[in-house]
Amino acid sequence: MTSLVIVDVSPIDKTQLSKYSALAAETLKAFGGHFIAKGEIESLHGEVKHPIKAVIEFPDKKSAQNWYNSAAYQAIIPIREQGMRSQFHLV
């Protein structure tokens, strides 16, 4: 069954965030992942903690977990931490 990684984002350094985004997109390919939505959100109900959201689709939950835990993705986490505050959710 298709699984989604939903990322809530608050930018803190747009240069580092752009660098991270480009690198992260490359790491998805080996696991069948791709962005299906990305950008500023409009709240229909409730308080917004992070103003930007990304939704990444994977073929299944295991592929999403393998991507997140992969050496390629783990290597860019320091850049992610410089570029944004975030939460990652797997559905």
- Structure confidence at residue 86 (pLDDT): 97
Q: Which tens digits make up the pLDDT trace of 41-78?
A: 999 999 999 999 999 999 999 999 999 999 999 999 99
Q: Rounded to the nearest 10 degrees, how much is the dihedral formed by the CA atoms of 59, 80, 53, 48?
A: 140
Share of the chain above pLDDT 90, in %: 100
Residue 20 buriedness (CB in 10 A; 0-12 / 13-18 / 19+): buried
pLDDT of residue 3: 98
* pLDDT score recorded for residue 39: 96
Note the pTM of the prediction, 2 decimals: 0.93
List the beta bridge partners of residue 10.
Answer: 85
Range 3-41+50-90 classified under CATH 1.10.3210.10? no
Q: What are phi and psi of 40, to 5 degrees?
A: -70, 145
- Structural domain boundaries of the chain? 3-41+50-90
